[in-house]
Chains A and B, each alone.
Chain A
Amino acid sequence: MTKQQGRKTPELVCPAGTPSALRVAVDAGADVVYCGFRDETNARNFPGLNFSRAEMAEATEYAHKRKAQVYVTVNTFPQAGKTDLWRKAVDDAVGCGADALIVADMGLASYAAKTHPDTRLHLSVQASASNPDAIKYYCETFNVKRVVLPRVLSVTEITALNDEIPCETEVFVFGGLCVMAEGRCLLSSYATGKSPNMNGVCSPAGDVRYEQGKDGSMDSKLGVFTINRFAESETTGYPTICKGRFKCGGNTGYIFEEPSSLDALSMMPDLLQSGVAAFKIEGRQRGRAYTEAVVKAFRKALSDYARGWPVKTDALIALAEGGQLTEGAYKKTWR
Chain B
Amino acid sequence: MKKDQQRLKFLEPAVRRVFCAVLDAHPEIVDRLDDYAASRIRIDVRDAPFCMVMQVSKREIGVYRRDAKVKSDARIGGSFMTLLKLAEGGGDGDSLFFSRDIEISGDTEAVVALRNALDDSDMNIVRESLAAFGVLGLPLRICYRVFQDMRPLVAGMFAP
Binding site for B on A (CB under 8 A): 17-21, 46-49, 204-206, 208-212, 218, 230, 232, 234-238, 259, 285-290, 293, 318-323
Chain A nearest CB from B144 CB (Å) reads 22
Q: A20-B89, A48-B115, A288-B119 are in contact. Are A319 and B95 (CB under 8 A)?
A: yes
Within B87-106, which residues are at the interface with A (CB < 8 Å)? 89-95, 97-100, 103-106
In the complex with contacts A18-B120, A289-B89, A319-B92, A48-B113 CB distance below 8 A: yes
Inside 8 A of A204's CB, which chain B residues have their CB? 109
Cβ 8 A contact of A289, one of B91, B108, B112, B116: B91
Q: Which chain A residue shows the least CB distance to B91? A: A289
A267 to chain B, nearest CB (A): 22
In B53-95, the 8 Å CB interface with A consists of: 89-95
Contact A205 B112 (CB under 8 A): yes
CB pair A20–B105 under 8 Å, yes or no, is no
Query: B residues engaging A (CB < 8 A)?
Result: 32-34, 36, 89-95, 97-100, 103-117, 119-122
Residue with the highest number of chain B CB atoms closer than 10 Å, among A49, A234, A237: A49
Asked whether A287 lies within 8 Å of B100 as measured between CB atoms, the reply is: no
Cβ distance B71 to chain A, nearest Cβ, rounded Å: 17
A-B contact pairs, 29 of them (CB 8 A): A20-B89, A46-B112, A47-B113, A48-B33, A48-B116, A205-B109, A205-B111, A205-B112, A208-B108, A209-B105, A209-B106, A210-B103, A210-B105, A210-B108, A218-B103, A238-B94, A286-B92, A287-B89, A287-B91, A287-B95, A288-B89, A288-B119, A289-B92, A289-B95, A290-B92, A293-B92, A318-B95, A319-B95, A321-B98
Q: Which of B95, B104, B109, B115 contacts A206 (CB 8 A)?
A: B109
Contact present for A205 and B108 (CB under 8 Å): yes
Which residue on chain B has the smallest CB distance to residue A206? Answer: B109
Chain B residues with CB under 8 A of A237: 98
Q: A48-B33, A289-B92 are in contact. List 14 more A-B contacts (CB 8 A).
A: A17-B116, A21-B119, A46-B116, A47-B112, A49-B116, A210-B108, A236-B98, A238-B94, A285-B94, A287-B91, A287-B92, A290-B92, A293-B92, A321-B94
A211 to B106, CA, bound (A): 8
Chain A residue nearest to B75 (CB atoms) is: A212
- Contact partners of B120 in chain A: CB under 8 A: 18-21, 48
A47 touches B100 (CB 8 A): no
Top 8 closest pairs, chain A to chain B, by CB: A48-B116, A48-B113, A18-B120, A47-B113, A290-B92, A287-B92, A205-B109, A205-B108
A232's nearest neighbour on chain B, judged by CB, is: B100
A206 to B73, CA, bound (A): 12
B105, A48: Cβ atoms closer than 8 Å: no
In the complex, the answer to whether A47 meets B116 with C-beta atoms within 8 Å is yes
Instruction: Please report the C-alpha to C-alpha distance between residue A130 and residue B158 in the assembled complex, in whole angstroms.
Output: 56
Q: Are A290 and B95 in contact (CB under 8 A)?
A: yes
Residue ID in chain B nearest A285 by CB atoms: B94
